[in-house]
Amino acid sequence: MSFWTWPFPSDTHGAPVARRLSRARPRPIAETSEGRKVCIAGRVHALEPLLVAPLTKRQCVYWSVVAREVFASLQSCERGSRDQGAPFLLVDGGGHARVIPDGARVALPSETRLRAVGPVVSGEFNRPGIWGDVDSDEMSGDEHALYESLQIRIAKSSRVRLTEYVIEPEMAIVVQGHAEPEPDDQAAEVGYREAGTRLVVSSARRAPLLIGLSPRP
């Protein structure tokens, strides 16, 4: 006898990120070394024109929408995500760093949409009795376009939860990732760092970029 099993991927946003960041200890930006994993905290300052989040239309420097399948048991599982971000400055009392949010994993305030799933009407996975399509009558045009772009499969007995996370200007956040120096003509000499340079923090294989709310606003 054989059993059909479902692959349940681990969540990459939300609670797992918050737990990891709760164990980190942010350092002042001016005292933070480059060429390694770092954790810093500060307030967000935009460097480029603001983006518009797809579900709530909030202006932001970064947004991410995560789709989770919600089973009849009310347990849920992450199925896919989309994001968009622009580099921004993180500023504390003694320095600043540029953050590149591409591929970030986040634990931030969120807005959620819970939608029903109906019978399959089209698509590659049109197998009666298993997969379903989201009920387009429940979704706005923007929600449905975003869901379709994820190209995920949801069982017709489940619902889909779309969760939107954003980073807004002036938000107080904590960032953990890999730091390197970069030229900065407006930077004065701070701490050990040469005048004319600043940190740039991004994601790396051994130091994925984690972003959450700062415990000290």
The per-residue pLDDT for range 21-74, each reduced to its tens digit, is 999 999 999 899 888 999 999 999 999 999 999 888 999 999 998 888 887 777
In order of 25, 45, 64, 113, 201, the CA distances from 161 in angstroms are 32, 30, 13, 6, 31
In a domain, 8, yes or no: no
The predicted-structure confidence for 80-112, as pLDDT tens digits, reads as follows 888 999 999 999 988 899 999 998 999 998 888
Longest distance between any two alpha carbons in the chain, whole Å: 70
Question: What pLDDT does residue 133 have?
Answer: 47
In a domain, 15, yes or no: no
Of residues 190, 193, 168, the one with CA closest to residue 179? 193
* Domain limits for position 123: 44-213
In a domain, 51, yes or no: yes
In a domain, 39, yes or no: no
State phi, psi for 147 to the nearest 5 degrees: -60, -45
Are the C-beta atoms of residues 100 and 86 closer than 8 Å to each other?
no
Handedness of CA 31, 37, 42, 46 (dihedral sign): positive
Mean pLDDT over residues 208-216, rounded? 88
Mean pLDDT over residues 182-193, rounded? 60
- What share of residues in the chain are helix, strand, coil (percent, to 5)? 10, 45, 45
Q: pTM of the predicted model, to two decimals?
A: 0.78
In a domain, 126, yes or no: yes
Q: Residue type at 200?
A: V
Mean pLDDT over residues 157-166, rounded? 84
* Cross-strand partners of 173: 42, 213
In a domain, 84, yes or no: yes
Mean pLDDT over residues 180-186, rounded? 80
For the chain, what is the domain count? 1
Q: Which two tokens stand for residue 214?
A: 């700062």
Mean pLDDT over residues 138-154, rounded? 68
Q: Give the span between the Cα atoms of 46 and 44, in whole angstroms.
A: 7
Question: What pLDDT does residue 144 have?
Answer: 67
